[in-house]
Structure 1
Amino acid sequence: MRGDWDNLHTVMMLVRTGSLNAAAEALGVSYTTVSRRIAAAEDSFGTQLFERTQTGYVATEAGLEAARYATEMELTEAALRRNLDGRDNELRGRFTITAPELLLHHHMAPVVEKFLQHHPRIDLNVRASNDLLDLGRRQADLAIRISSNPGDDLVGRRLVEQETASFARSDLVEAMTRDPSAPVHWLGFDFWTSTPRNTRPEYTDQRILLRYNDMIALLGAVRAGLGVARMPIFVGNAYPELVRAPILPPQPYTDILVLTHRDLKDAAKVRAFKDVLIPHFREIQSQFVTGEI
């Protein structure tokens, strides 16, 4: 029975991800195991679930139907686990949280340390991700996210409000302050089509020098002195070589939320983690805002 579910689950993941390699990575197995499970599922159901083409596996109508049923089974199992875990009053066992990498790097270590000191029987797993993992499918039990639309099945609260501002290396900021007419090189993201709005009018010569698809890479360029970038206050404040650049006044930014699935909101591990998390961020609120707005 377990093997049948493994095979059907593999069919679902191949449909969901679109390739053998991606499905293998999602399942934590080799691509040959994925191929073997697909063949076993086809043998079991007596029908072809995927066409083998030069570009990869393409789901047939039967394959899509099998994936739909597997998804329903997955959601039903996840709902049962959430329901049972929501009744769990024991502070032990596996517990998974997820948060943006930069927030984990700069502010979450004290929370994790204190939580584990208080609850040593909990097997804490931390996933660094900027994506809103599927809490309904138990990819995580609790998520810390920068979001204005967390989803209908999730409940939570604002953890901390935050602002953004422009930052650059201190020597570059000194030069900008001395001569606002000098060219200003912005480091932005690949979706930028123009320089930021609401910059100070005395900085008349602005252009985008580089675009990035990743905040870590952009940070490296800012710290190397390649230009000025807009970023959350807590990120800029974390690096001693960076200072606020006067070109862009602080602006409100999306709140940081702590979220969980509504079925888990009263679970003991969720409540225990929040009991450590929320007071910590209340104490460090000043690192996320300037107090100037």
Structure 2
Amino acid sequence: MHLRMDHLDWNQLRAFLETAETGSLSAAARKLGLTQPTLSRQVAAIEQRLGVTLFERVGKAMLLTSTGLDLLEHARTMGSAAEELALVATGRSQAVEGVVSISASDAVAAYLLPRAIHRIRQVAPGIVVEVVSSNALSDLRRRESDIAVRHVSPDQPDLIARLLREATASFYASEAWVAAHGHPRTADEAVAHDFIGADRSGRFLEYLRAHGLPLTLANFPLYSENAVTAWELVRQGLGIGAMMDDIARLTPGVVRVLEALAPVRFPIWLVTHRELRTARRIRVVFDVLAELLTAP
């Protein structure tokens, strides 16, 4: 659907944007310093001007319709452009400020992002970073995050994606575990040992079997869907686990095992929305992440 964006009142557009961001009229009104009836009239006015319904009223919550989601992309871009104009007008165009949310898997968020965040704090101390730690694919179109670190190629054509590199993962155990149980190097030797499972549904077991490990459920006395927790179980000597080699190199006291198996290879994608072109804060964070996640 194509919405006519010409001749829109900026106050109405800002009212829509803040209501979409906060999810309620009262919260948006407080943020903008308006009364709730005034804000409600502005939201109703932009709906009337465009001839569409932008929100579904569910109790006190304001939920975006599909048309509202379409408009949100444009409103964010216009809001960022207005913010940039204001910075230039006041001589603060180099003062990069605002919140940038980064979505990454729990292991990447815990072990690889901190170095990048240190750099962000150095180059742009005015940026507030929110880390969204999730193994699910955050939907950037719905603004669950501004930037996502992904291990699969994004399929949304309206996103900006950069393939940083191909990473690898291998199997590891703690030094204490190896001292107690020996050092298994081959797939056949693996069947006598305990592994840390990622799920009880059997998907992880099937994946390991496809990778050449003839394991059964008996090899999994422990499970954790949280990779940080699973890695800590490995580090404390409770079994063999898989981990990204970049992270393993940062972890003292662990040893690579099952070296006869080829490492698992997977891509690292950095993905954001088209606001990257207009929002300086997102560009700064994107460039820092691209630099530091490209180098293993």
- 2:199 is the counterpart of 1:187: no
User: Secondary structure of the equivalent of 2:182?
Assistant: helix
After superposition, the Cα gap between the structure-2 partners of 1:178 and 1:79, relative to the gap in structure 1 and judged at 3 Å, is closer
After superposition, the Cα gap between the structure-2 partners of 1:272 and 1:248, relative to the gap in structure 1 and judged at 3 Å, is same
Measure the CA separation in 2 of the matches of 1:237 and 1:185: 22
Measure the CA separation in 1 of the matches of 2:112 and 2:171: 21
Deviation at 1:205, TM superposition (A): 11
Deviation at 1:229, TM superposition (A): 1.2
- 2:212 is the counterpart of 1:212: no
After superposition, the Cα gap between the structure-2 partners of 1:79 and 1:254, relative to the gap in structure 1 and judged at 3 Å, is farther
After superposition, the Cα gap between the structure-2 partners of 1:183 and 1:69, relative to the gap in structure 1 and judged at 3 Å, is closer
2:129 aligned partner: 125
1:80 aligned partner: 75
Deviation at 1:237, TM superposition (A): 2.5
Contact 1:183 1:205 (C-alpha < 8 Å) held by counterparts: no
Deviation at 1:178, TM superposition (A): 7.2
CA RMSD of aligned residues (A): 4.1
Amino acid at match of 1:184: H
Measure the CA separation in 2 of the matches of 1:136 and 1:204: 40
| Structure showing the higher strand proportion among its residues | 1
Contact 2:197 2:220 (C-alpha < 8 Å) held by counterparts: yes
Contact 2:57 2:63 (C-alpha < 8 Å) held by counterparts: no
Unaligned runs of 5+ in 1: 12-26, 28-40, 42-60, 286-293
Amino acid at match of 1:144: V
Counterpart selection for 2:252 from 211, 236, 240: 240
User: Secondary structure of the equivalent of 1:184?
Assistant: coil
TM-score, length of structure 2 as denominator length: 0.62
Unaligned runs of 5+ in 2: 1-11, 28-39, 41-55, 86-92
Counterpart selection for 1:161 from 161, 166, 176: 166
Measure the CA separation in 2 of the matches of 1:217 and 1:170: 18
Measure the CA separation in 1 of the matches of 2:223 and 2:168: 21
Contact 1:82 1:264 (C-alpha < 8 Å) held by counterparts: no
Deviation at 1:155, TM superposition (A): 1.2
User: Secondary structure of the equivalent of 1:177?
Assistant: coil
1:230 aligned partner: 242
- 2:117 is the counterpart of 1:108: no
The number of aligned residues is: 234
Measure the CA separation in 1 of the matches of 2:57 and 2:284: 45
% same residue: 21
Deviation at 1:168, TM superposition (A): 0.8
Cα deviation 1:155-182 (Å, max 9, x = unaligned): 1212332111111112333533379487
